[in-house]
Amino acid sequence: MSQAKKKRKEYRKKLLHLKKKRPKQINEQFNTLHDGEFETMDCLNCANCCKTTSPIFRNVDINRLAKHLRMKVGSFTEKYLKLDEDNDYVLKSSPCTFLNEDNTCSVYDYRPLACREYPHTDRKNVLQIIDLTIKNTEVCPAVARIVDKIIQ
Ligand code: SF4
Ligand code: SF4
């Protein structure tokens, strides 16, 4: 088994155990650690999420972006998006086509909700998305530190 796979398995086991024992405190701990991380983290020095993963584009996101770019919804979808295994629209390629060289987002005010909410460690029930959070430890250094602190 690869090191990454081993680590994911260990994270999962520990987080599921904590979820069973004291879910409320763990969710609160996620939120507190999230606030601490993002008080000092400058995402413009990272942008790893925009470089390596795709947000989900809901219809409302697609409509808003297509309108902003003065494109037809169909043309926008055809040019930038594909359906993933869960039948959600995601970017055809990465890094994100809307990421500028200086790591800013060229469609910032119109970006998908999933970009606004990433990395989701400030949601009320983070334990509801354990698998996604574990996946994000490999994308987002802040999430990796948060999870490490929680399971230590
Ligand atoms: S990967 Fe995490 S730290 Fe890096 S830009 Fe994205 S949210 Fe910020
Ligand atoms: S739309 Fe903007 S915030 Fe979202 S992944 Fe692309 S560059 Fe990043």
Q: Which residues make Cβ contacts (< 8 Å) with residue 146, sequence separation at least 6? A: 30, 33, 34, 37, 121
Residue 22's identity, in one-letter code, is R
Which atom from ligand 1 is nearest to the alpha carbon of 118?
A: 7
- pLDDT tens digit sequence for 45-65: 999 999 999 999 999 999 999
Q: Indicate if ligand 2 lies below 6 Å from the C-beta of 99.
A: yes
- Name which of 44, 45, 49 is nearest 117 in CA terms: 49
Q: Residue 142, class by beta-carbon neighbours within 10 Å (0-12 exposed, 13-18 middle, 19+ buried)?
A: buried
Q: 65-85, pLDDT tens digit by residue?
A: 999 999 999 999 999 999 999
Q: Is the CB of 96 under 6 A from ligand 2?
A: yes
Tokens of 38: 């993002």
Is this structure's pTM higher than 0.85?
Answer: yes
Looking at all shown ligands, the one closest to residue 118's CA atom is 1
